[in-house]
Structure 1
Amino acid sequence: MKSSFRFANLCGTVYQQGNVAFDKDDSLYSPVGNRLSVFHLVRNSSSTLPFETRKPIARIAISPANPSLVLVADEDGHALLVNTNRRALLAHMNFKLPVRDVQFSPDGRFLAVTHGTHVQVWRTPSVLVREFAPFVLHRTYTGHSDDVLSISWSRSGCFFLTTSKDMTARLFSLDPVPGFRPKTFTGHRDAVLRAFFSLDERTVYTVSRDGACLTWGAKEEDMELDVPQDTEGTEEHAVGFIRWGVLARHYFHQANTQVACTDFHAPTSRLVVGFSNGLFSLRDMPDFHEVHALSISQEKIDSVAFNRSGEWLAFGAQRLGQLLVWEWASESYILKQQGHFYDMNAVAFAQDGQIAVTGGDDGKVKLWNTASGFSTVTFADHTAPVTCVEFAKQGQVLFTASLDGTVRAYDLVRYRNFRTFTSPAPVQFVSLAVEPSGEVVCAGSQDVFDVYMWSVQTGKLLDVLAGHTAPISGLAFDPTGSGMLASTSWDRTVRFWEVFRRSAHTESMQLNAEGLAISFRPDGKEVCASSLDGVLTFYNTQDAACNGVLDCRRDIAGGRSINDRISVRNNAAGAAFTSLCYAADGTCILAGGNANYVCLYDVREQVLLKRWTLSLNLALDGTQDKLNSRDVTDAGNVALINDVDENELSLHERMDRSLPGAQRGDLSKRSTRAQARSKCVRFSPTGQTWAAASTSGLLLYSLDDQTTFDPTDLDMELTPQAVRAASHQGDTLPALLGALRLNDPALMAEVYEHVKMKEVPLIASQLPTVYLAQVLGLVASRLDPANESPHVEFHLSWLASLFQAHGAIIRAQSSTTYAPVLRAVQMALNELRANVKTTGDRNAASILYIWNAFSTRPLQRVENEV
C-alpha cells in the first residue's frame, strides 16, 4: 500500500481569528488557526494551503499588483510570504513584535507593517529572483504614542494613513517630499480603528471604537492647495498638502456596544461597520445614509471586508467559527459556513468517498463535501455531544450515537431523522457499530456497561448484551456479514459475540490495560484492539488466538503541555491510540489518539511505515517536545498569564462572573489551552484519502498530487522568444506549456494556432492536468466569433481530444474546478451551433433561389448562355 499521503485540505473550520480579504477574482482568504484557507466563490470550492505558521494567524495581506502573492503574519510577528497559485513558500520574516496590520502598496512594491508604536515599510521581495535577505527595510515612521492599529495607502502609493490606540490618525509620506510634514488627525475619544481615503482623495474618514465616524476634508479658507512649485508629481503629492479639518461628525448610536471592525469601498463610497453585539451597519458616505442594518448573530463580528466590486460583504465571527458572504443588493447569502462550536469527536466516509460526516461536542452532525470542502447539511437533533458516526454499507443511511441517550438514523436522500433508538433506562452511548446489511445497529454505554442492539426496520430493542464490567469504548461488526460483533472495554477485555445465533456465544480475551478502540480487518479474519498502555493487539477471529502485539508508546511519545511538570518519559505513558482503521486491502492500519501524531503500521511486518504531525501550532498543547525552562516559574508557565487588553474586549467578555462575596477573585477560573490530538481517524473507502478529526478541524490527507511536473523547468528558458523559437522548431508541447506558464493571451493563441492538426490528440493526451482548465478556456476563447478564427474543425478536434484523454477527471470535478471553463465551452459551442445553423439556412435559401430562378427559363436558352 502507498504511504505517500500529503495534506490536501482542511474542513470543519472556516474561520478562527484575524482578518478576511478578497482578491481580484473574488476568492476569499480566511485564516484558520495557523493555516490559510482560500474559498473560491465562483468555482464553489475551498482549499487550504499546506503551510503553517508558528502561532495562529493574526493578519493577512494580498498584493494588488500580484494577487497570488500573500503575506500571513501570526500573533508573535512571524510572517510567511507565499505564492498561492503555485502553493510555494517564498520567504520567512520575523517582525519581532505582534503585527496589528500589514498592507501592500497599490503597485505592490512596498509593504507597510505596524511595529508597536512605529510603522515599518519594507520592499516587497522579488518573486523571480531568489535572494539571501528578501526583506529590505525602506523606512521606519514614528509619531504615535501607543500601538498602531491600521494602515491605509493612498491610490498613488506616495502616502499612507495610520491609526492608533492614542486616539489619533496620522498621514505619512512614503519618501521625503519637499515641504511636507506628517499630518495628525485628532478629535476622537477612543482608539481609532481604521482610516480611509475617498476615491478622489480629497476626503478622509476615520472610525473609532466608541462608534464615532469623522469626515475630514480641506478647510474652507484653504481650498487651494499650497503645493511648492518645485515638487515633482504635483497631482500624486496633492493629498499631502491639504489642510485637513473636520467637516462632519457622525455617530452610530449603539448602546452598550463597541465597533469591532470596519471597511470602506472607495469606488462606491460605502462604509460597513461590525459591532461587538453581532450587528453590522452599511452606510453611504459622506451623507452617512444607512443602507442596511442587520444582526448576524449575538456574538462579536471580528472581521469584515468588501470585494472588488463592492457587491459582496464578508464577515468573520471568531466565537462562532462562522464565515459569511452577503450580497447587500439582493439581501442574500453567497456563502454561509460554520464549523463545530466545540471539538470534533467522530468522522466517517460515505461509500463513494465524496461525503464525510462529522459529529462534535456541540451536538451537531455535519456533512462535508470532500471535493469542495463545504458543509452541505447540518443535523441538530442531538442535545448532547455526538460520540460516534457510522454509515450503513448499503443505502444512504447515517447512524449517530450521543451522550443524550439516543442513537439516531438519518436518511441522506430526504435529509431527515427517520428513526430514533433509545434504551429502557437513560444511558450515555460512547460506541457504535452497524451490521453490514444495515438491518441491525448496536451501541455501547459508559454507565451501565451493556451493549444494546436494535432493529433498524422496526426501531425495537432486540437484545441487551451483558458481560462487560466497565464502560464499553469500542464496537465493530464483521465486514463480511457473518454476524460477529467485537467489543472492547475498560475492564481490559475483548469480547466476540455471535449475535444472530439462538444461544449467544461469547469469547473473551484479556488485555494488559484498559481497551480504547477496536477495528475489524476487511476480510473479517483479524481484529485489532488498542489499550491504554499504548499497545496494539491483533487477534484471529476464527480461533481467538493472539497474532501479535505491537508496542507503540515511542511512536506517539512527545508533546509537552505548557503547565507540565513531569519528564517526557513519564508524560509519554499517558499517550495511547483511541481510534483505529484498517486500510481497504487490510495490509495497513491507521491509528490516532491523545497525541499530535497519526501513525500508519504494516500489519504483517508490524512496523511503523509513516508518522504524520497534525499541527505545528505552538498555541496548542502537545506540539512541543521540549519546554523553554526560562518560561517556567514557581507559579507556573508565564505563557498562561492573560495579557489581553480589557479595553479591546466586548461587554460580554468583560462581564464579571465571580461568586458573590469573593474578595480575591473567582477561584473557579482556570487558564486552559486546547490540546493537539486526533479523536478519530478513518480511511476513505477508495483508499485515496484518510481523515483525522483533530483539534484544528477535519484534516484530509490524500495521495493525489497537488502539483504536476513541468518539463519546461529543465530544458528551456521561459521567455516569449524561447517559446516562439520552440514552436517554430516543432517542439509543440514544451512551447505550449511555456506559453501557458507565461499566461500571455497573445502568445498562447499564437502557439495554439501553430499546432498541427495531426498532433492534437497526442498533445492533448500528454498535457499535464494542472493546465487542463487553462487550455479549455483557451479553446473556448478561440471559438468565440469575435476572434474571427476560421479553424472551426481545429477547435472541435481539440475539444474532442481533451475530453477523450481527460474525461474522467473533468467529470469528477465538473461542479468545482472546471465549472467556469465548462460553462464557457458550452456557451461557445451553443453560439457556434447557432452561427452554423444560420449560415446553413442562408446558403440553403440562396441555392433554392438560384435553382428556382434557372428552372423557370427555357433549357435551350440556359445552354446558350452557358
Structure 2
Amino acid sequence: MRSDFKFSNLLGTVYRQGNIIFSQDGTILLSPVGNRVSVFDLVNNRSFTFEYEHRKNVSCIALNPQGTLLLSVDEDGRAILVNFRAKTVLHHFNFKEPVSDLKFSPDGATFALACGRFIQVWKTPDVAEDRQFAPFVRHRVHAGHFASIISLSWSPDSRFILSTSKDLTARIWSLDSDEQNLAATTFAGHRDYVVGAFFSADQEQIYTVSKDGALFQWGYTSKQEVEEGEEPDLSSYSWRIVKKNYFYAAQAKVKRVTFHAKSNMLVVGFNNGEFRLYEVPDFTLIQQLSMGQNAINAVSVNQTGEWLAFGSSKLGQLLVYEWQSESYILKQQGHFDATNAVAYSPDGSRLVTASDDGKVKIWDVASGFCLVTFQEHTAAVTGLAFAKKGQVLFSASLDGTVRAWDLIRYRNFRTFTAADRIQFNCLAADPSGEVVCAGSIDSFAIHVWSVQTGQLVDTLDGHDGPVTCLSFSKENGVLASSSWDKTIRIWSIFGRSQQVEPLEVFADVLSIAVRPDGSEVAVSTLDGNVLFFDINEGKQVNSIDGKKDILSGRHLEDRFTSKNSARSKYFTSIDYSFDGLSLVAGGNNNSICLYDIPNGVLLKRFVVSRNMSLNGTQQFLNSKRMTDAGSLDLIDRDGENSDLEDRIDSTLPGSNRGGDMSTRRVRPEVRVTSLKFSPTSNAFAAGSTEGILVYSVDEGLLFDPFDLDIDITPQAVVEALKEKEYLQALVMAFRLNEEYLIKRVYESVPVKEINLVSSGLPIVYVARMLKFIGDFSMESQHLEFNLIWVKAILSAHGRYITSHKHEFGSSLRAVQRFLGRIGKDVVSASKDNKYAYLFLSSTDGSTQADELDGDGDAGMGHAFQIEEDNNSSDNDLVMEDASDDEKGWVGFSDAKSNTLPLDQDKDSSDDASDDDDDENLI
C-alpha cells in the first residue's frame, strides 16, 4: 500500500475573507480560503489550492503584473512570498502589524501596503545583476493619516499612490521624494469613511467614494482664469472638487468599490448584497443587481473590464459576472455550517458532501467546482451513501426522512419515512441499490426500505440502545451496526433468518466500517482503539491503539497541557481502502492517521490545519499572551470597534452551532467529521473545519529509472519505430516515461498490429497503458483507433486485470470516462439526426441511383434534383421532380406513413415508461 499521499485540493469552501484578484490576462481568479489561497481557472474550468498554510486566516493577497510572484498576508501581518508558476514558497516575512491593503505597482517594481495609519513601499524581489541580500527591501514609509488606512491604489504610470482612511480623507503620495512636496494633497469633504480613491486613465481626474454613498470627482484646476497666450501660474493650481454625485441607496452603505480606468467603469458593492455598475464621469447607471442579502466583502475587475468578481464572507459566496452579456461565468458557494458526511461516487469522479445547513452538494473532483446543490432537507443531513452504479444517491437527515436522488436528472425521486417521526443519524445502502437502511437515536431498531417501491419492508430489532453507526459490505449483503449498548451486530439482509449474535465491545462505538470483501469489520471506540473482527468467525482478530498517534492540541481556555488532554484521544470516522490493507482514521483533533492493517503500524500522520485561529491546532500556548486571568485572546474586543456593524453581535453567547457562524464568540475547533477513500485508493477526502481536504498520490512521475540501461534513449525509440519494432519502441517509451514519446509510438502503431502489440505488452505496463489511453482519448478525435486499442488490451490481459482489480482501479476509471464520453456523443448525434435518418431510410432510391444524368449528377439523390433556371433573371435555384412521369415526389408518402406511427409509439412508450425510469436507475 502506498503511503505517499499529499494535499492536492480543498473543496467545500471558495471564499472566506479578504480581497480577491484577477491575473493579468483576466482568466484566473485568486481567492483566500481560511489560511490558504485557492486559484480558479475560469477558462479551463479547473481549480486548485496552494499547499502552503499561513498561521492565521489570510487578510489580503496580491499578484505582480508579470504573474510570477504571489504575496499573501495573514491577520497578524505575516507574509509569504510564493512563486506563482512553480507553486513554491520563496520567503517568509513579518510586517509586525495587521495589513489592511496590499497592491503591486503597475510596472511590478514595487509594492505598497497599508499598516495601520502608515503606508510602506517595498521593492519587489528581482533577479537583476545587483541582487540584494534581503528579499524585501523597504523603499520608504509615508505617514499623514490620523486613522487606519482602508485602501490603496496606484496611478497608471506607477509614480503616485492614493490612500483612503477612516479619518474621512484621501491623500496622494509620490514614489519619488523630489515630487512628494508638490504632489502632497489631502482630499477632504466627505462625511463618512472614504472606502476608495482612483485615478482616471489619463491621470487628469481623481474619483473618491465614501461609505455613505457619495462620489466626488476631483480635477487639477486653477482659481484664476488663464487667457489665451498667457502662461499659467502653477502655484494657483490645486486639486478641487469638480462634480458631486450620490448613489441614493436608502439605508445601504458602500462596502467595497473598484474602478476600471480603461473603460471608466465604477463597480460598487453594498452591505445589503446589491452591486451597481456606473460609467463615469457622466455617472450613468449601467446595471443594478443583487447577489443575496449579505454584504459584499470583495470586488474585483479583470484587465479587459469584461468580468466582475464578487465575494461574500457571510455565506462563503464567490461570483464572477460578465456584465455585457449579463451572464454568470462562475457561481460557487460553500457549506454555511459544519460538514457531517463525505462520499465518493463509484467511479471516483464526484465527491458528495452533507452539512448541518441541510444541503447536499456534489463536487467534481477534477475541476474542484460544485455541480449541483440539493436543498430539500429541512434539517441537518447526517449520512450519505451511493448505489453501486453511481446514478442514485441516498441521504439521511434529522428531519425524519431518507431521500433518494437521481444523479442523471438531478431530482429527488423517493422519500422514505418511518411509522413514527424520528431523527435519522446514520445511513447505509446495499451496493445493488435494492434496499436502504437507516438508524436513529430515537429508536433501537434499524429501518429497512425497498428502493423500488419506497415502502418500509422491515425493522431489524435486537439492539438495546440507540443505533449509532451502519455500514454495508460492497461485495455481499452484509450489514454491520453498532449501538450505545456497546455491541456490534452483523445482519444478513437477504437471508431467511435474522438471528444474529452480538459482538461485545468494552467502550462506546464511534464509527464502523466493513472491509470491501465483507469478511472483516472495523470499529473505533471511545477509548481510542480501533478493533477488527472476523465476521465469519465472530471473534476479534486485530487491534490498533490510536491514542499515542493522535495530535490533540490545546484550547485557549485549557488549564492543562495537550499531553494531559483526554478530550479528543479517539477516532470518530474510519474507512477501509479498496484493497482492504489500509485504514484511514480521524476525529475531533488535528490529525489524520493512515494505518497498515496486517502489521498494525502507523504509515503516515497528516496534520489537518496549522491555522492558529482555530482551537486545537497548537501544542503550546504563547506565554507572552498569558495573564493571571487567562489568555488575552479570550477577551472580546468587539465592543471597542469604531463601526456599529462591527460592534453588533447577533449570536447566542457561547453557542457552538447555529446563528451567525462567522461572528460567533466561541472559537471554532479543528475536527475531522468524515473520511472516505476513493474507489481507486489513490486519494481520500476528509471533511473538516477548514473544508473538504483531498489527499492524493502523485502518479505523474517525470522520470522512472526502473529497468533502464544506457541503450534506451529517445533516439533509440525513434530508430525502433523506423524499423517497425513497435512493441520494443513502446516499452522503451514507457521506461523513459516521456509523454510525447509514448504518444508518438502509440499513434504510429498500424491498426493491424495493435492486437499483436497488446498481447506482447509486459504486464507491468498494462495499467499505465490503459491510464494513458483513457487520458489521451479525452482530447483525441480518433475514436475508433482508441477503442481498438482498449479492446485489444482487455482481450489480451482481461483475466489478470479481473484478478488484480485494486491495481487497475485508476486505469479502468480513466477508460470508463472515455467510454462514457463516447456514449454521450453517440446518443446526442443519433437524437439530432433521427428524423433525417427516417426520411433517408424511407425513400426508395434504387431506381434513381441508376439513372444518372449526362454530367453524372444524381441531383438530390432519391427524390429530386436542383437545376439552374436559365430563363430566370435572378438565376434562382429551382427544385424539380426527378421522376414526374413515374411516381411524383418519391418517398414522401412512404415517409409520412412510416414516421407518424413511429412517433406515436415513442410518445406512448415514453409516457408508459415514466414510472419505470427510477427502477432502471438502480
Q: Same fold (TM over 0.5)?
A: yes
**Are the structure 2 counterparts of residues 395 and 368 from structure 1 closer, same or farther at C-alpha, using a change threshold of 3 Å?**
closer
Amino acid at match of 1:364: K
Change (3 A) 1:308 1:135: same
Structure 1 residues 586-640: Cα deviation after superposition (integer angstroms, max 9, x where no partner): 1111111111111110111001000101111111111111112343345443213
Q: Is the 8 A contact 1:765 1:805 kept in 2?
A: no
Distance, in Å, in 1 between the alignment partners of 2:450 and 2:400 is 17
Contact 2:386/2:431, CA 8 A, preserved across alignment: no
1:525-564 matches, within 5 Å, as 525-564=519-558
Q: Which residue of 2 aligns with 1:747?
A: none
Matched ranges for 1:383-402 at <5 A: 383-402=378-397
- Gap regions ≥5 residues in structure 2: 654-662, 706-712, 716-721, 745-768, 782-813, 819-922
Match of residue 22 from structure 2: 22
CA positional deviation for 1:305: 0.5
Report the alpha carbon displacement of residue 81 of structure 1 after superposing the two structures with TM: 1.0
Mapping of residues 708-857 of structure 1, within 5 Å? 708=702, 807-811=773-777
Q: Which residue of 1 aligns with 2:648?
A: 654
Equivalent residue in structure 2 for 1:361, among 356, 361, 364: 356
Determine if contact 1:180/1:241 at 8 Å carries over to the other structure.
no
Higher RCO (CA-CA < 8 Å; seq separation 6+): 1
Q: Secondary structure at the match of 2:223?
A: helix
Distance 1:675 1:467 in 2: 36
Contact 1:257 1:651 in 2 (8 A): no
**Cα shift readout 1:254-291 (whole Å, capped 9, x = no counterpart):** 22221110110000001011011111111001111111
Corresponding position of 2:894: none
> Which AA in structure 2 matches 1:403?
L
* AA matched with 1:33: G
CA distance in 2, matches of 1:626, 1:127: 39
Q: Corresponding residue for 1:54?
A: 55
Superposition deviation, residue 764 in structure 1: 12
Match of 1:211 in 2: 213
Kindly indicate whether the alpha-carbon contact (under 8 Å) linking 2:147 and 2:166 is maintained by their aligned counterparts in 1.
yes
- 2:282 and 2:437 map into 1 onto residues whose CA distance is 65
Superposition pairs of residues 338-357 of structure 1, within 5 angstroms: 338-357=333-352
CA contact (8 A) 1:78 1:92 kept: yes
Distance across 2 between alignment mates of 1:24 and 1:239 = 37
- The residue type paired with residue 221 of structure 2 is K
**CA deviation profile, 1:613-669 (whole Å, cap 9, x unmatched):** 11111111111111123433454432132334776757597377899xxxxxxxxx9
Alignment of 1:281 onto 2:276: yes
Whether the 8 Å CA contact 1:20–1:31 is kept in 2: the answer is yes
Is residue 374 of structure 2 the alignment partner of residue 379 of structure 1? yes
Shift in alpha-carbon separation, 1:767–1:47, aligned structure 2, 3 A: farther
Q: Is the 8 A contact 1:401 1:432 kept in 2?
A: yes
Farther off after superposition, 357-366 or 670-679:
670-679
Task: Give per-residue Cα distances to partners, 1:125-167, cap 9 Å, x unaligned.
Answer: 1268996521111111111111111111111111111111111
Match of 2:757 in 1: none
SS in 2 for 1:257: coil
Q: Is the 8 A contact 2:533 2:539 kept in 1?
A: yes
Work out the CA distance in 1 between the residues paired with 2:282 and 2:114: 31
Shift of 1:575: 2.7
Query: Aligned residue for 2:80?
Result: 80
Aligned to 1:510: 504
- Matches of 2:371 and 2:461, distance apart in 1: 39
Q: Secondary structure at the match of 2:40?
A: strand
Distance 1:635 1:155, change over 3 A: same
Q: Which residue of 2 aligns with 1:418?
A: 413
Are 2:91 and 1:91 aligned? yes
1:593 matched to 2:587? The reply is yes
CA displacement at 1:210 relative to structure 2: 1.6
In structure 2, the residue corresponding to 1:101 is in which secondary structure? Answer: strand
- Alpha-carbon deviation of 1:454? 0.9
Match of 2:301 in 1: 306
CA contact (8 A) 2:340 2:355 kept: yes
Aligned match of 2:514: 520
Contact 1:276 1:650 in 2 (8 A): no
Verify the 8 A CA contact 1:533 1:574 in the aligned structure 2.
no
Q: Matched residues in 2 for 1:650 and 1:16: separation?
A: 22
Per the alignment, residue 637 of structure 1 pairs with 631
Checking the alignment, whether the CA contact within 8 Å between 1:533 and 1:573 is kept in structure 2 is no
Q: TM-score, normalized by length of structure 1? A: 0.79
Aligned to 2:286: 291
- Residue 512 of structure 1 and its aligned partner are, at CA, apart by 2.1
% identical equivalent positions = 48
| Residue equivalent to 2:247 | 252
Partner residue, 1:718: none
User: Counterpart of 1:677?
Assistant: 671
Shift of residue 387, structure 1, vs aligned partner: 0.6
Shift of 1:203: 0.4
Does residue 439 of structure 2 align to residue 453 of structure 1? no
For residue 180 of structure 1, give the secondary structure of its aligned residue in structure 2: helix
Provide, for residues 384-434 of structure 1, a one-character-per-residue CA deviation record: whole Å limited to 9, x for no partner.
111111111135110111111111111111111111111111111111111
Q: Which residue of 2 aligns with 1:720?
A: none
Question: 1:176 and 1:705, CA in 2 relative to 1: closer, same or farther beyond 3 A?
Answer: farther
What are the ranges of 5 or more consecutive residues in structure 1 without an aligned counterpart? Answer: 230-237, 660-668, 712-730, 734-755, 777-802, 820-866
Which residue is 2:709 aligned to?
none
SS of corresponding position for 2:637: coil
Deviation of 1:193 after TM superposition, in Å, equals: 1.2
CA apart distance, 1:571: 1.6
* Structure 1 counterpart of 2:531, one-letter code: T
Counterpart residue identity of residue 158, structure 1: R
Choose which of 476, 489, 492 in structure 1 pairs with 2:483. Answer: 489
Cα distance in structure 2, aligned partners of 1:241 and 1:81? 45
Q: Could you say if the C-alpha distance between residues 658 and 63 of structure 1 is closer, same or farther in structure 2, counting changes exceeding 3 Å?
A: closer
Distance 2:138 2:234 in 1: 25
Distance 1:223 1:244 in 2: 15
**Amino acid corresponding to residue 525 of structure 1 in structure 2:** S
Q: Is the 8 A contact 2:704 2:737 kept in 1?
A: no
C-alpha change, 1:497 and 1:223, in structure 2 (3 Å) is farther
Report SS of the residue matched to 1:414. Answer: coil
Alignment CA distance shift 1:577-1:5 (3 Å): same
Range moving further from structure 2, 632-641 or 282-291: 632-641
The SS at the match of 2:566 is helix
Aligned position for 1:566: 560
Describe the superposition over 1:496-546 as per-residue Cα deviations: whole angstroms up to 9, x where unpaired.
123333331212122221101111111211110001111100100011111
Q: Aligned-pair distance for 1:809?
A: 2.7
Determine the C-alpha separation between the residues in 2 that align with 1:368 and 1:177: 55
The residue number in structure 1 matching 2:883 is none
In the alignment, which residue of structure 2 is the partner of 1:10? 10
The 1-side partners of 2:41 and 2:770 are apart by: 27
Q: Contact conserved, 1:49 with 1:84, CA < 8 A, in 2?
A: no
Contact kept in structure 2, 1:515 and 1:531, CA below 8 Å? yes
> Is 2:19–2:59's contact at 8 Å kept on the other side of the alignment?
yes
User: What is the CA–CA distance in structure 2 between the aligned matches of 1:621 and 1:700, rounded to whole Å?
Assistant: 22
The DSSP-based 3-state class of the residue aligned with 1:100 is strand
TM-score, normalising length from structure 2? 0.74
Q: How far, CA to CA, are the matches of 2:770 and 2:546 in structure 1?
A: 48
Confirm or deny: 8 A CA contact 2:534 2:541 kept in the other structure.
yes
What corresponds to 2:116 in structure 1? 116
CA distance in 1, matches of 2:234, 2:600: 71
Which residue is equivalent to 2:43? 42
RMSD: 3.4
